[in-house]
Structure 1
């Protein structure tokens, strides 16, 4: 989904000679192999693993359903997601803000999480492989944040900032807003005893920060800041419900009643009532589902790819510089092209 057609090797290890003469397999062939690998894994994986973080049958089914969805194979996607929904193996956490806290790791909503530790003797500077901590937490922190010992947050680098446009998209009463878009100025005013100070990041400040992965004190070891243990939530049950809603809405025999049921489970958690249920159908329901994905999964790495796969990227991001026929894919690094002979993606 990032680079389109990519090299595909399934029958041997990649040798040095191979790396200097790579060719790109069609994306359809790559997806076909991913489907085969996941289908094979599903037949042998258990539904529960003793060691947290090991892949389960449910996780593989969720990934396969997502692969189907990205190819517009809606019937197959809808059927695959039912394998997670029908057994009631997962449930939505009642308190949305707790999902991304350290105590919320591997909870009832976790379909698959990448595990991290703060026990490494080294640290993960610039995404090297030496450390065991989650560098993304450090990136999401507020620059030069300081305060009293009672203030729970640690400082960071002010990357991956929510926009005011996102914050404004949440309706009144939506509990996800404050649990996603952290307003530092409002926090300072509400907590004068914390004596909070911070540095505004140049060129990128929106006044908001990614609460989901905001670094908390006590998460990291003594080896500087880069050993944050907070897991990366790769697939949550809420994501599965919304993907299932989309697949049922777009299926050959559309089932909008089921799609409404799934999206409304997510919305009832968000608002804490039944007053915000979605009752529309057809394309209006489809748009509502995509918007719900934006609100529920904000700052989790889904939005851009959702816009691309649904053909809405140009109309949504055009004013921000998105160019159709180019920006759907990422550029291949020039250093990789020079070594391998790969052809650059269009427009770069």
Structure 2
């Protein structure tokens, strides 16, 4: 495979699942995709693009959300029934789940480079179709580089198909350089993508998806001035509005609606197209109406710290988290906390075949991002940032916050991150929110969490180098030009 990116060769071991995009699209088996593929027609490129979307579906269906939640203070460290080293910060560069996330994103990057290298020479009867497909591909590549950059730090910048030998000459860029590359891709995508994708293209990325991810990247970089106009444009679009009811955001019957800026698409009744995350979050021996066939052996227990952070009047708590469960042996566990956020829709005949989508960005998240931007650019007592935050609280059944509750920029910032945690619990964003607050604040948050008797019991010390995960050991062995992150 002379044209194969070395990073992507290793990825095949991660068993990336089939390609595909939306519930309406015909899905093509993964076996039709490899770096030797030669695309000629618009149909060829369409199928190849489905393969890139499908790579995102694979990692977001298990490895990525499980890893992100496990690292954060949303998961109980002491209980840790899954023997999950991520939750205990006992992971090494050889951890399979870390490699799985790394591998999955590099697989997708390889697929996007394969498309972008050929798309200008393809036979398209409609140039607009070519332009939009190119935009979608650059969005996906930019998103992957953003994800890799904030999780692992600086990445090798590989923007075309390369031979295995060539990739070993590409060193790691800095994190700033990696983000700059992602920014360029996301900006290029936003310029050409449509406001909405419907019909056979339902669920594919839009201009607003690109702008939302770009704004999220700017927030990580603390570039609030650049994020502001992007978020304003999204919020001004009539097609994106929060659902009236919080629970509707996670029902399969409300997928691809006005709440959702961008979702990973899942489909039931087809080979390996369902969403496995739903049952992966609960124990294998659980039996209930939501989980008549139980869960998975590798599940995660929610932290008491997260559960207790909710007001008892907050409707999000009991929709997101179930306290206690009855096992298949009729033994009642009254204490364990479980994520059930995605399980309230149609229960599939096969527990692995749920068709509820996973949102990467919701419009409610956009509102919270914009409130953050306004506060960071200049605190205004009872100003627009308060109004945005209070719309989120109102849907949750909570009263409004005023300047007497958050009298300055710092206290409003704390209130905002608290609201993000409660609203977005289980959506793989809490660790991102912790990391981007910087080493000092992140160490404060995680140190206090791990010191709690019911969570870490003081048995685990959080170290700032955990904020970047290790480069997988297998990558370092295969490509010696790569360097390991400090502390590993």
Instruction: Give 1:182's aligned residue.
Output: 322
What is the RMSD of the two structures over their aligned residues, measured on CA atoms? 2.4
Q: What is the TM-score when the length of structure 2 is the normalising length?
A: 0.61
Instruction: Give 1:192's aligned residue.
Output: none
Once the two structures are overlaid, the 10-residue window that deviates more, 207-216 or 291-300, is 207-216
Instruction: Give 1:301's aligned residue.
Output: 428
Task: Return the alpha-carbon distance in structure 2 between the equivalents of residues 173 and 115 of structure 1.
Answer: 32
What does the per-residue CA deviation read over 1:50-87, in whole Å, with 9 as the maximum and x for residues that have no partner? 12210011111111111111100011112210011123
Aligned residues: 318
Is 1:161 the equivalent of 2:297? no
Contact 2:246 2:395 in 1 (8 A): yes
Task: State the shift of 1:331 in Å.
Answer: 1.0
Task: Return the alpha-carbon distance in structure 2 between the equivalents of residues 162 and 75 of structure 1.
Answer: 36
Task: Return the alpha-carbon distance in structure 2 between the equivalents of residues 332 and 315 of structure 1.
Answer: 25
What pairs up with 1:51-90 in 2 under 5 angstroms? 51-90=201-240
Task: Return the alpha-carbon distance in structure 1 between the equivalents of residues 349 and 359 of structure 2.
Answer: 18
What pairs up with 1:1-348 in 2 under 5 angstroms? 1-10=150-159, 12-50=160-198, 51-121=201-271, 131-146=272-287, 151-154=289-292, 155-157=294-296, 159-185=299-325, 207-214=336-343, 218-221=347-350, 225-251=351-377, 253-254=378-379, 257-271=383-397, 275-279=399-403, 280=406, 281-311=408-438, 312-318=441-447, 319=450, 320=456, 321=460, 323-341=462-480, 342-348=482-488
Pair 1:236–1:197, CA change in 2 (3 A): farther
Pair 1:322–1:43, CA change in 2 (3 A): farther
Pair 1:325–1:167, CA change in 2 (3 A): closer
Pair 1:343–1:258, CA change in 2 (3 A): same
Task: Return the alpha-carbon distance in structure 2 between the equivalents of residues 4 and 219 of structure 1.
Answer: 39
Task: Return the alpha-carbon distance in structure 2 between the equivalents of residues 139 and 77 of structure 1.
Answer: 34
Task: State the shift of 1:166 in Å.
Answer: 0.6
Instruction: Give 1:126's aligned residue.
Output: none
Stretches of 4+ aligned residues off by more than 6 angstroms: 198-201
Task: State the shift of 1:32 in Å.
Answer: 1.0
Pair 1:88–1:263, CA change in 2 (3 A): farther
Pair 1:247–1:197, CA change in 2 (3 A): farther
Pair 1:160–1:146, CA change in 2 (3 A): closer
Task: State the shift of 1:197 in Å.
Answer: 5.6
Larger helix share, 1 or 2: 2
Task: Return the alpha-carbon distance in structure 2 between the equivalents of residues 235 and 200 of structure 1.
Answer: 36
Task: State the shift of 1:107 in Å.
Answer: 2.4
Contact 2:231 2:370 in 1 (8 A): yes
Task: State the shift of 1:113 in Å.
Answer: 0.5
